[in-house]
């Protein structure tokens, strides 16, 4: 079949738009920001990835708006303060990560609300998730505004430079990150997730 997104994203026999089920698996950027009043926000973003490694840069996409109107806290806070943290969500943290997707009022500390311990960052103010096996301290670069959606929804790409990397030493074996110990959780389509705990190796031709 062929889909023209400007006409219909779920032509027969599709029940839902297949887009997110085809861009898989998506790593989850579990993003901490802090408001200019000092309120901690934590939220998962599966439109997330690394974009280059020298200097290391990442992006996440706060799309749509806050339930109380205006931009999502993860967009407003990063634009107000210029800092954010990427926390890696592993298998053990999957349920807490899901809880932080709840649309909470902007004055609620979302780490405290879901019972997660915060750990201080070295260079920036937002805290990291203490239990995360890795966290990146990031300095905001810029926001790229994407085309407005068919329902009037705004979408944004937030870009940041990684200025500090925390790794739990227990996931480092013989000098490399052991994926079987890291066990990152990734987003698939619909309400589905994957946990990555197996990998295979292939050398490049040159």
Ligand X SMILES: Cc1cc2nc3c(=O)[nH]c(=O)nc-3n(C[C@H](O)[C@H](O)[C@H](O)COP(=O)(O)O)c2cc1C
Phi-psi region of 117 (alpha: psi -120 to 50; beta: other; left: phi over 0): beta
Binding mask 91-130 for ligand X (x = CB under 6 A): -------x--x-x---------------------------
**Owner of token pair 């490694």:** 53
Query: Of residues 50-79, which lie at the interface with ligand X (CB under 6 A)?
Result: 61-64, 66, 72-74
Query: Of residues 22-51, which lie at the interface with ligand X (CB under 6 A)?
Result: 28, 41, 43-47
DSSP 8-class letter at 98:
H
Distances (CA, A) of 133 to 53, 55, 86, 178, 199: 19, 22, 11, 11, 18
Count of residues engaged in binding ligand X, rule: CB under 6 A = 19
Nearer to ligand X, 100 or 135 (CB): 100
Q: How far is the CB of 61 from ligand X (least distance, A)?
A: 5
Phi-psi region of 193 (alpha: psi -120 to 50; beta: other; left: phi over 0): beta
> By the criterion CB under 6 A, which residues form the site for ligand X?
28, 41, 43-47, 61-64, 66, 72-74, 98, 101, 103, 187
């Amino acid at each position: 079949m062929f889909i023209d997104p400007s006409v219909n994203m779920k032509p027969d026999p599709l029940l839902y738009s297949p887009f997110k089920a085809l861009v898989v698996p998506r790593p989850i950027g579990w993003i901490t920001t802090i408001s200019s009043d000092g309120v901690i926000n934590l939220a998962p973003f599966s439109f997330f990835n690394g974009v280059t490694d020298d200097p290391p840069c990442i992006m996440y996409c706060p799309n749509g708006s806050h339930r109380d109107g205006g931009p999502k806290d993860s967009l407003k806070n990063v634009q107000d303060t210029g800092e954010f943290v990427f926390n890696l969500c592993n298998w053990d943290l999957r349920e807490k990560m899901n809880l932080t997707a709840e649309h909470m009022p902007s004055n609620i500390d979302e780490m405290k609300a879901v019972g997660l311990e915060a750990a201080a960052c070295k260079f920036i103010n937002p805290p990291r998730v203490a239990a995360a096996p890795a966290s990146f301290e990031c300095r905001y670069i810029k926001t790229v505004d994407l085309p407005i959606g068919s329902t009037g929804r705004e979408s944004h790409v937030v870009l940041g430079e990684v200025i500090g990397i925390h790794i739990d030493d227990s996931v480092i074996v013989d000098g490399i990150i052991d994926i079987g110990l890291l066990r990152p959780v990734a987003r698939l389509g619909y309400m589905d997730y994957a946990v990555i705990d197996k990998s295979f190796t292939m050398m490049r031709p040159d």
